[in-house]
Amino acid sequence: MTLLILVALLAIFAVVLLSKTIKIIPQARAGIVERFGKYQQTLDAGLKTVVPFVDKVRYLIDLREQVVSFPPQPVITEDNLTVSIDTVIYFQVTDPVAATYEIANYIQAVEQLTMTTLRNIAGGMDLEQTLTSREEINVGLRGVLDEATGKWGIKVNRVEVKGIDPPPSIKDAMEKQMRADRDKRALILTAEGQRQSAILTAEGNKQSSILNAEGDRESQILRAQADRESQILRAQGEGQAIQTVFQAIHDGQPDQSLLAYQYLQMMPKIAEGSANKVWVIPSEITKAMEGLGSSIHEIAGIPQEATPRTRVDMGPTEPQLAKGSDELGRSEASKAVEEAIAAAEAASNPGKAARGAGAGDTTPAAEAPPAPGVADAPPPAGPASPGEPPAQ
């Protein structure tokens, strides 16, 4: 029984001895070994052995990069405004012995150093610079912390400013200022847009007025030319119509019966007037028409006997427009009509032609050139007009 108790005690002692002798250090860790309270060695990762009951692993230091976020800290700027700044620090332990024995709590030390450095940097800036100089603040913090924590076995890799919060009153003022700036830019852009629109509209109206004026001028010119040509064509058409009618009258050789018939056809038209209430036809209408026909026949210069048919030159069938001058003369057709009319009057009433020549012209009638087409025609045999001497 005593032997069993002794064996059990030896087994327990062996287990305790092994636990005190063999140490397992995790990856990215460093073990600080002390012997009788004094630094002995630094154990890296893996299975390590120490002297049991003499050496002791006092601290296990994490060698990985660590991230520490500090709460917002009140900072007074150069223009005496208080802002809250919170930061994030990325650091790594490079010397476990220094981090263990040079500083009691390196995380707290880094936090306090960050607060003092941040207040020092922000105190030299005004509010506007503090809000817009994050990179400058980060570089200043990293430089100061890296220099101060080097002897603690700590390396500060990065320092980031998470946020800068001004007081509520400053926020309201900044929002009003930003809103005013935006409104100002909007008004400026609106005014510039309206100016450009007005300029473009004015240029468009100018071009439109110029084009409208040019179009009106050209249309008036074309309309005037069209009116001129239409008047020329109308005058030529009327001349050809008169010439054709006059030629048809000469070709038809009208007599008193035809004139009487025309007179009868015109009588209903004479009676169509609204003022004519009563229309009386005399019984001697036949004699009146005979006398009227003979009178009209004589007055119109139509000979009672047939005269030789002389064709009058009709002129060109197509209308000819005058070219090269704005002033139009008489066309050849009009001249032909006038010559034909003069020839007919000379043939029907030679005495009147001679008297007219004697009264208005200083040239003797005997020397006047004969009318074209009727130079060889015999004088009319009918009676002369009243008041005129018989033809010689």
Which whole number is the average pLDDT over 264-270?
70
> How many Cβ atoms are within 10 Å of 59's Cβ, its own excluded?
15
> Where exactly are the structural domains of the chain?
2-62, 65-166
| The pLDDT value given to residue 191 | 94
Higher pLDDT residue, 359 or 305?
A: 305
381 band by pLDDT with thresholds 50, 70 and 90 = very low
| Residues 315-326 pLDDT 10s | 555 544 444 444
CA distance 103 to 19: 30
pLDDT interval class at 377 (50, 70, 90): very low
Query: Long-range contacts for 384-389 (Cβ within 8 Å, ≥24 apart)?
Result: 384/298, 384/349, 384/351, 385/298, 385/299, 385/349, 385/352, 388/349, 388/351, 388/352, 389/351
pLDDT band at 252 (very low <50, low <70, confident <90, very high): confident
Task: Please state whether 272 falls in left (phi above 0), alpha (psi between -120 and 50) or beta.
Answer: alpha
The percent of residues in the chain predicted with pLDDT above 70, rounded, is 66
Q: What is the mean pLDDT of residues 94-115?
A: 88
More confident residue, 388 or 118: 118
pLDDT of residue 360: 41
- What does the pLDDT look like over 43-52, one tens digit per residue? 888 888 888 8
Q: Is the pLDDT of residue 363 over 70?
A: no
Most confident by average pLDDT, 70-74, 285-289, 305-309, 352-356: 70-74
CATH 3.30.479.30, domain 65-166, yes or no: yes
Instruction: Work out the average pLDDT over 219-246.
Output: 90
> Which of 156-170, 199-213, 285-299 has maximum average pLDDT?
199-213
Cα–Cα distance measured from residue 165 to residue 77, given in angstroms and rounded to the nearest whole number: 12
- Residue-wise pLDDT for 279-315, tens only, equals 555 554 555 555 555 554 454 444 445 444 444 455 5
Using the predicted structure, report yes or no on whether residue 387 has a pLDDT greater than 60.
Answer: no
Confidence of residue 220 (pLDDT cuts 50, 70, 90): very high
The CA-CA-CA angle for residues 192, 195, 198, to 5°, reads 150
Count of CA atoms in the C-beta half-sphere (13 A) of 300: 17
> In this predicted structure, what is the pLDDT of residue 348?
56
Side-chain half-sphere exposure of 74, counting CA atoms within 13 A: 4
CB 30 within 8 A of CB 60: yes
Can you tell me the mean pLDDT for 271-280?
62
pTM of the complete model beyond 0.75: no
* Band of residue 259 on the pLDDT scale cut at 50, 70, 90: low
Q: Are the beta carbons of 68 and 111 closer than 8 angstroms?
A: yes
Task: Give tens-digit pLDDT for 132-149.
Answer: 888 888 888 888 888 888
- Cα 131 vs. chain centroid, distance in angstroms? 44
